[in-house]
Amino acid sequence: MSGKLEGRVAVIVGAGQTPGETIGNGRATALTFAREGARVVLVDRDRGRAEETAAEIDGDAVVVATDIASDDGPEQVVAAAIDAFGGIDILHNNVGIGMGDAPPHRLTDDAYDRIMDVNLRALWRTCRAATPALRASDHGAIVSVSSLAAVAAATNLTAYKLSKAGINALTQSLALSNAKYGVRANAIMPGFVDTPMGVDAAAAARHIDRAAYAASRAEQVPLGRQGSAWDIANAALFLASDDAAWITGVVLPVDGGQSARIG
């Protein structure tokens, strides 16, 4: 590794992962940032899963077990980072749920509220809480994981699509409002990525074979395969590092060409 994040403090929200055959986006990003020299704050609702990520890191890592959708979750995360490492240079938001989503005419108020609360409101509140620390940094950067669903989704993903489209819009607002402080904000729109949440959990929910479901997703990607969490982590590393020092307000598709196909 080249030490692109040497000495920087990176908060990774969603650093654990659901069980599965592959690695998730949050864990892959945490490992990548740490290998590039960052001191990492691993945030997850499930302490055990975050600690599993920490166990794979040969460097400075602290675990914060909290639900960022709770009233004081974002403040807990920021306080823990400052207490452990003195500040925050990078905020990586990797949060997303879709349980209970449905077409507009069948989507319930409760499902809509929960998805929007976790995927968008909690992310915004975490950015808000971290803003003073990011502005105090010489390398402030926000990288949020959106989704290709923001611009192309099946009708049964109403709330998820709205929440991810909201992240794209929020990213632009964050970029403009923080530009004069040197804080950059960008987002990643993953396409079909072979993660435990994207494949294992989805296949189980559909009661179909994992391999068959993975193959059906790969067939829809112009490059002929699903991405891996490392593809997302490498994009996050680029956007968080000085390699992207003049890039802000960008929503970057990382999707094997899927967005090109839909235009």
Tell me which of 112, 160, 181, 213 is the catalytic residue: 160
Closest to 230 in 3D by CA, of 96, 35, 6, 8: 35
Cβ atoms within 10 Å of 185's Cβ, excluding its own = 26
Question: What DSSP line would sit under 30-91, residue for residue?
Answer: HHHHHHTT-EEEEEES-HHHHHHHHHT-SS-EEEEE--TTSTTHHHHHHHHHHHHHSS-SEE
> Is-catalytic flag, 112?
no
Containing H/E element for 91? strand 90-93
Radius of gyration of the chain (CA): 17
What's the token pair of residue 55? 């166990």
Q: How far apart are CA 88 and CA 64, in angstroms?
A: 14
Containing H/E element for 143? strand 141-145
Q: What values do phi and psi take at 144, rounded to 5?
A: -115, 140
The residue to which tokens 């829809």 are assigned: 220
The residue to which tokens 């005419």 are assigned: 105
Q: What are the catalytic residues?
A: 160
